[in-house]
Amino acid sequence: MPGRVSRVSSATSETVELLRALVREACVNTGEASSGGEIRAVRVLQRFLAEAVERRCCETRVFEASPGRASLVARVRGTDPDAPALGLLGHLDVVPVDAERWTHDPFGGDLIEGEIWGRGTVDMLYLTAAFATAFREVALAEERPRGDLLLLAVADEEAGSDYGLRWLLREHPDAFGVTEALSESGGMRMGDHVVVEVAEKGSAGRRLVVRGTPGHASIPFGAQSAAYAAGEVLQRLAAVAPAVELGALWRSFVEARIDDPDLAGRMLDPVRLDAALLELGGIAGYAHAASRVTISPTVLRAGQAHNVIPGEAHIDLDIRTLPGTTDDEVDALLAEMLSGLSAEVEVRHLRGWPATESPEDEPLFDAVRDAIAQTDGSPVVPIMAAGGSDARLLRELGIPSYGFGLLSADWSYERYRQRIHAHDERIDVASVELTVEALRRIVSARVG
């Protein structure tokens, strides 16, 4: 229908221009409280929504957890208080870049041969821009929607949300009132299927404090360097092999991604899975992570002066857990690994959270599945994400939340992982258009 195509094309153009503007604000989150500067992106969104605000079609509020660390919450109120309240949850911050490794300016927002270049285009500014476009369309429509629609454009997702959604939920819970939500980590291709993220692994961060006997580096006899002890701990960590656990989502992943019946059969067998990983190519990393607890040493510190034998070393561990894994089980795994070193190594708990999952029998999941089928003709496959997102904070409150998107046909899961947080991050206009069109259908089905 010519009218529909024209409308989609216009919305795509607006979304692309909004995405480019958000990229140019360079809201880089280093993890420091003074970084981010998400207020700049909030101002971009305020300008984008200005007409709807001036016409009193929506309400907007800006919240600052600290100077510059701003989030925007916008709401279109529906006519039926019993209808769903759909939240479109996007973050505004991006990870740092090594600009010298980029082909084009990482904050230029350049549109080159059908692709928008820039840090954050994939994670997740393209989706935040699409959410804003869908929100503005509903706000400016002649008729009010049946249910509430909320745009939640938040700070600090990349560093744990202490200045973003976590802070908002604690300090301003009245600003939300959503009953269901869409966020990131969906839309890539698994074979003929499109991924919808319904779950995320948990996190159980730990710091291993390794102690030795300090001394002057010129007279090492009698000293015991904590660096040597840390080396032994790292060797033991490298040998840890947490048990394979194939959860409820594993079979659907295998069926969607693996065509070879023999390989699929081995992947469904916990005993034979690890040998099969070697045949999976670019998807092996995800398959490994989704089938067990993983432990990754990420930060190692020992000593301060070159002529002092260190008496203490720190090893930070990024531990990602499966649904049902408890802190006690993580501690027991580490205690077994550290057997015989307990006097030299102290285990400290860092930030953590449990794995979260939203059920597949929720009306919002049905709407996502139907919208993707109507837009693209593709079936969906629910998966558990190996990483984390702000959606877990809503799931912890019992709010069904799903990772959404609809990327173009060339966006395999492998390509998505290669582009996210990478040099030369970019996304194609075709993916923006597909996402906007599918999102329209979801919004119409849930609150229209």
Domain boundaries, the chain: 2-197+357-447, 200-353
Neighbours of 424 (CB within 10 A): 15
Tokens 């698994």 correspond to 190
pLDDT at 6: 40
pLDDT at 344: 86
pLDDT at 272: 97
Q: From the first residue on, what is the mean pLDDT of each consecutive set of 10 residues in the chain (448 residues)?
A: 47 97 98 97 98 97 98 98 97 97 98 97 98 98 97 97 97 93 97 97 97 94 93 94 96 96 98 96 96 96 94 97 96 93 88 96 98 97 95 97 97 94 97 97 97
Which of 30, 334, 351, 327 is closest to 209 using CA atoms? 334
For 216, the enclosing helix (H) or strand (E) is strand 215-216
Query: CA of 329: how far to CAs of 174, 240, 324, in Å?
Result: 36, 14, 10
Whether the CB-CB separation of 338 and 230 falls below 8 Å is answered with: no
Tell me how far apart the alpha carbons of residues 200 and 286 are, in angstroms, rounded to a whole number: 12
CATH of 200-353, one of 3.40.50.10190, 3.30.70.360, 3.90.1150.10, 3.40.50.300: 3.30.70.360
Reading the block at residue 168, the tokens are: 């908002």
pLDDT at 342: 67
Decide: pTM greater than 0.75: yes
Instruction: Determine the CATH number of domain 2-197+357-447.
Output: 3.40.630.10
Reading the block at residue 72, the tokens are: 């925007």
By three-state DSSP, how is residue 32 classified?
A: coil
